Every structure is written in structure tokens, then in C-alpha cells.
Amino acid sequence: MPYFLKSVRAYACHVSHGGQTILIPYSTMEMVKGGIHLDGVMEKKPLQTTVFMREHGKGLVKKWRACVGAGTASHGLRAEWQRQFEVTVAQCGFEHARLSDWGKPDMKDARETDALCDFLCDHNIAPIVRLSAGDSVDLNGFARHAISRYGAKRVHNWKFETPHTKGFEQKAKLLKTVDSSLSVGVVVPIPARGLRSRESGKPPRQNCGFVGDPGEREAFFPIAHAADSGLKGLMQSPCVAGLKSAAANKDVDFAVLSGSVDSVEDKTYTRVMEALAKLQGLPLHLDGIDAAHKQEDALTDAVALTKRHLGLDSTDGKMSPLQSLSLVSFSGICRQGAYLVDDFGVRQPSGHAFRMMDLLYDNELDRGKGYIVTKNERGKVCAMAWSDSANPDSLEITGLAPYEKLMLETLDAEHGFAYMTWRQMGCPASPTRYQAQALRQAALATDVKFCRADSRGVFSLPLPKGEPTIMLLKA
């Protein structure tokens, strides 16, 4: 029997016992010279999930691709914003970019609007034009000019969103008079959890994009605790009433649920969404960008976002009525929630997470709380795993080619997360040119290793449970 050394960082090793090879975590082993004493673990087989690559599986719908938050329209005119946008779109595969404040003074000039739309169209990105109650945009003229400049076929793929305030019916009708095929939606806010924030005891910030009479704004807050009174209470809440009125309007094509999703408890959020899914005939989209996150929590946020998009309890896994899912901004310039790159072009852990999710294939074989396994039409595997206490000890993938070569990429606190590098620099608020370059390099340095399946075409992947970690396995 081999002689093993203690290893704190290693996940586990294979040990032969009774003609079987089992996976034993190193942390449970007591290493002794000349052999291994397993402290009673040998009698207990570790938890393991097996996925057979020759199964047919089902289609994977990548709802996060549909849209990414992009800040205000004026942000889109900045050179740094555009440089970061090009990289993000190329690696994450987004289809739409949501921009707000098209009617602000710095966007009054038609040449600035044309420059922004030209940039998006050059990168095959359709803009989502979000209006606010205070926007003085000539909708008729804006839509006609867009169709004239870019063609009706392209503009039909754009989306126009208006808040659910008094007069939203007129805005929707005005757009439909220009072209009945234009896609028009209504934004209905989901408020933050609870009527008072835990930190200050004051009512939560009303940053859901709802601009209007304070009395109307307060009327939306009961949905935060309506789940406690059951689905009947939810269906009678003002938020759902707003969706019902939107569904009854023939000029409205979809609804956007907008709010601070991360501040809503999973159980409450799930019940709210299940109730809203009962509404018939109105596609639902989710725009849930939370308030600004702390830099030191960026890796934890990335794991949470991955779980919300891909886990068993995710909206993609359970809530099919949602047509799209937008939980991040692509850049820190936008100053909205979790972002994929920061102001200085340093990739964030969430950026790695979305890049990895985009690499997943379209045929889903298996999904758990902390992993997902996909394959392509040629039978090649691509799997993702992330930290979750409910994970089994390992994920065994069978049906691979004998000795098939695989790439294993790991994102954790020491690989692909530039926070510690920034701390070692003294936490500069405005890094120098060379510091920013060093941070960008540190953020790209995920741990990449190459491994192979065994002679039977089997590969065993230890799954993370504790420290925030995201892993990508790809043939």
C-alpha cells in the first residue's frame, strides 16, 4: 500500500478496498508509516453522483444570455465602456443590452443616440430602451428614425420598456402606431425584502426604476411580505394587479419584474414567482440587479449568481415562465450591482462565472444543487461545479472515450480573483497604470490543468463544498 503525505489543499484520493476503488477525503485520513488508518471511514462509501455521457439529455435554455445591464445611455458613449463591452460580449454571448435614461439632457442630440445605437448594432447587440416617467423622449420620432436608419427587421428585435405608471397605456399605443411589430413591455418593480432594512431600520431604497407619486410607490411594498399570507394574498397584491392590467392591454407584449432580487429570500422569491407564473398570455422577464457589492465579497457573489442561474432551485431550472434573466451589469462603470469587469478593466469573479456558463453545451445531462453536466452533438462533455454544502463528494462521468483529454479550470480565492493582489498593493482607490495592468493579469490567472479519463472512459471530479469555488470541466 502506498505511503501518503498529509495534504490540506487536496480534495481526496482513490483507495482500493475489497476489490473496489473508492474516493476518501484526505481530511478524514490519519496518515501512518507503512499504510493508512481510515478512522472508521472505510466501511462508509462516500457520496457520489454518476452521469452517463451516452444519455440523450434535454435542451439547456441559457436565459442569462438574453440580456445584460449596461447602465445609462450616456455611459455607452464613453470609450472605456465600449472597450469593456467588446470583450464582455465576445466572451459571454449576450444578445441584448438594457440601457436607461434615454431622455436625459446629455442624450438630447440625435447624433449621440445614433452613435450609441451604431456601436451596439455593429456588435450584433439589440438595445433595450428603458424609459422612465421623467423621460421627455419623442417616442414616435425615435421609433421612426430607428426604423429608417437600421431597418424594420433589425428594430423589431429591439425592446422598449416603460414603467407601470399612469399613462403607460399611451406610451405603448404610441409605439404601436409607428409599427405594430415593435416589442413593448411594462416594468413592474419588486421591492426589497421587508418594509425596513436590517441595517438602518429605515424603508429600503426605492431603486426599482419606479418614478411616480410617492403614494403609488409605497403601494408596491406589501408584496415583500405578502408571501406569508399565501398565494391568495400574492395574487391580490398591487404588483400582481399591475401585471394583470398590463396583460389586459393589447399593446403590451411582455412584462419586466424589476427589483433587488438578491435581497429577497429564496423561499419568498420562489413563491412570488410561482404566483406570477399563473398569469396567462404575458411573457415575463426578470431584471434583478442589486445594490453595489463589496469587493471582498465578489467571489461569494459569483458563486451565488451561478447557483441562481444553474442550481436546482434556479429560475432556469424551475421557473420556465421567465423568458430572460438579467442579474448583473457588465461593467463597474454602470454603478449597478454585481459586475463582470470593474472600472479599470479588471475581470471580476462574476465575469469568469458568466464566461464559463456560456461555454456550457446545449444538451443538459444532469443538474444538481452544485453542478451541471452538458454535452454537444459530438458527445463531448462540458460541466460546471460550484461550492454547495449539499454537494456529493464527487461527480463521476462515464461513457467518455478511454484516456480522453479534459481541461479543468478552477476559480477560487487564489486563482482568478485579484482582491488579494489589490490588498498587497495597499488598496489603492485609483491604481496606477502599472498597478491596473498587474490587477488585470492576476484576474485572468485561473488555475488551468489538463487531465484524462481512465482506460474505462471514466473521470471522477471532486466537488467543492466549503470555500467559494467555481470549476469548469471541458473536453
- The owner of cell 471530479 is 461
For 136, other C-beta atoms within 10 Å of its C-beta total 9
d(CA 141, CA 65): 30
Phi-psi region at 93: left, alpha or beta (left = phi > 0; alpha = psi -120 to 50): left
Supply the CATH number for residue 411's domain. 2.60.40.1500
* Per-residue pLDDT at 200 exceeds 80: no
What pLDDT, on a 0 to 100 scale, did the predictor assign at position 49? 72
Residue range 127-150: mean pLDDT, rounded: 85
What pLDDT, on a 0 to 100 scale, did the predictor assign at position 412? 94
CA distances 325 to 189, 360, 453, Å, are: 15, 17, 35
Residue range 417-424: mean pLDDT, rounded: 91
**Are the C-beta atoms of residues 29 and 39 closer than 8 Å to each other?**
yes
Last residue of a domain, one of 325, 359, 393: 359
Residue range 230-235: mean pLDDT, rounded: 52
Co-location of 372 and 352 in the same domain: no
What pLDDT, on a 0 to 100 scale, did the predictor assign at position 454? 93
What pLDDT, on a 0 to 100 scale, did the predictor assign at position 451? 94
Residue range 257-277: mean pLDDT, rounded: 58
Last residue of a domain, one of 299, 328, 359: 359
Residue range 144-161: mean pLDDT, rounded: 93
What pLDDT, on a 0 to 100 scale, did the predictor assign at position 335? 57
Co-location of 341 and 422 in the same domain: no
Confidence of residue 9 (pLDDT cuts 50, 70, 90): very low
Co-location of 94 and 174 in the same domain: yes
What count of Cα atoms within 13 Å lies in the side-chain half-sphere of residue 141? 7
Stretch among 115-129, 153-167, 294-308, 344-358 having the lowest mean pLDDT: 294-308
Residue range 462-470: mean pLDDT, rounded: 91
* pLDDT tens per residue, range 34-49: 333 333 433 444 566 7
Q: In what helix (H) or strand (E) does residue 116 lie, and over which residues does it extend? A: helix 110-122
Co-location of 387 and 461 in the same domain: yes
Cα 206 off chain centre by: 22
| Length of the chain in terms of residues written | 475
Supply the CATH number for residue 291's domain. 3.20.20.80
Co-location of 39 and 53 in the same domain: no
What pLDDT, on a 0 to 100 scale, did the predictor assign at position 474? 95
Q: Which of 66, 106, 97 is nearest to 336 (CA)?
A: 97
Grid coordinates representing 4 are 501518503
In the chain, pLDDT over 70 holds for what percent of residues? 68
What pLDDT, on a 0 to 100 scale, did the predictor assign at position 414? 93
Largest separation between any pair of C-alpha atoms in the chain = 84
All residues at 6 or more sequence positions from 342 whose CB lies less than 8 Å from its CB, including other chains:
331, 332, 348
**Are the C-beta atoms of residues 367 and 312 closer than 8 Å to each other?**
yes
What pLDDT, on a 0 to 100 scale, did the predictor assign at position 469? 95
Q: Which of 318, 404, 386, 403 is nearest to 395 (CA)?
A: 386
The SS3 call for residue 19 is: coil
Residue range 308-327: mean pLDDT, rounded: 65
For 151, other C-beta atoms within 10 Å of its C-beta total 11
HEC assignment per residue over 330-387: EEHHHCCCCEEECCCCCECHHHHHHHHHHHCCCEEEEECCCEEEEECCCCCEEEEEEC
Co-location of 369 and 468 in the same domain: yes
* Per-residue pLDDT at 166 exceeds 90: no
What pLDDT, on a 0 to 100 scale, did the predictor assign at position 50? 76
Top-confidence residue, 14 or 146: 146
All residues at 6 or more sequence positions from 475 whose CB lies less than 8 Å from its CB, including other chains:
380, 381, 382, 400, 404, 405, 406, 407
Strand partners of residue 286:
257, 325
What pLDDT, on a 0 to 100 scale, did the predictor assign at position 286? 76
Stretch among 89-93, 133-137, 287-291, 374-378 having the lowest mean pLDDT: 287-291
Confidence of residue 410 (pLDDT cuts 50, 70, 90): very high
Co-location of 3 and 117 in the same domain: no
Confidence of residue 384 (pLDDT cuts 50, 70, 90): very high
All residues at 6 or more sequence positions from 234 whose CB lies less than 8 Å from its CB, including other chains:
223, 226, 227, 240, 271, 272, 275, 276
**Structural domains of the chain, count:** 3
Co-location of 28 and 134 in the same domain: no
What pLDDT, on a 0 to 100 scale, did the predictor assign at position 339? 78
d(CA 223, CA 238): 7
* Per-residue pLDDT at 185 exceeds 80: yes
Stretch among 15-19, 313-317, 351-355, 371-375 having the lowest mean pLDDT: 15-19
Co-location of 180 and 266 in the same domain: yes
* Per-residue pLDDT at 387 exceeds 50: yes
What pLDDT, on a 0 to 100 scale, did the predictor assign at position 280? 58
Residue range 63-67: mean pLDDT, rounded: 85
Kindly write down the DSSP assignment for every residue of 183-215, as one continuous string.
EEEEEEEEPPSSSS-TTTSSPPP--SS--S-HH
- The owner of cell 489603492 is 428
* pLDDT tens per residue, range 329-354: 777 666 555 778 888 888 989 899 99
What pLDDT, on a 0 to 100 scale, did the predictor assign at position 406? 95
The rounded mean pLDDT for the chain is 75
All residues at 6 or more sequence positions from 366 whose CB lies less than 8 Å from its CB, including other chains:
49, 51, 57, 372, 373
Co-location of 235 and 290 in the same domain: yes
Report the DSSP pairing between strands 405-411 and 470-474.
antiparallel
Confidence of residue 373 (pLDDT cuts 50, 70, 90): very high
What pLDDT, on a 0 to 100 scale, did the predictor assign at position 86? 85
Q: Which of 447, 443, 454, 399 is nearest to 421 (CA)?
A: 443
Co-location of 400 and 434 in the same domain: yes
Residue 7 domain boundaries:
1-46
* Per-residue pLDDT at 131 exceeds 50: yes
The amino acid present at 160, given as its one-letter code, is F
What pLDDT, on a 0 to 100 scale, did the predictor assign at position 71? 83
Last residue of a domain, one of 295, 327, 359: 359
All residues at 6 or more sequence positions from 201 whose CB lies less than 8 Å from its CB, including other chains:
none
Name the pTM for this structure. 0.76
- The owner of cell 410607490 is 217
Confidence of residue 19 (pLDDT cuts 50, 70, 90): very low
Co-location of 178 and 129 in the same domain: yes
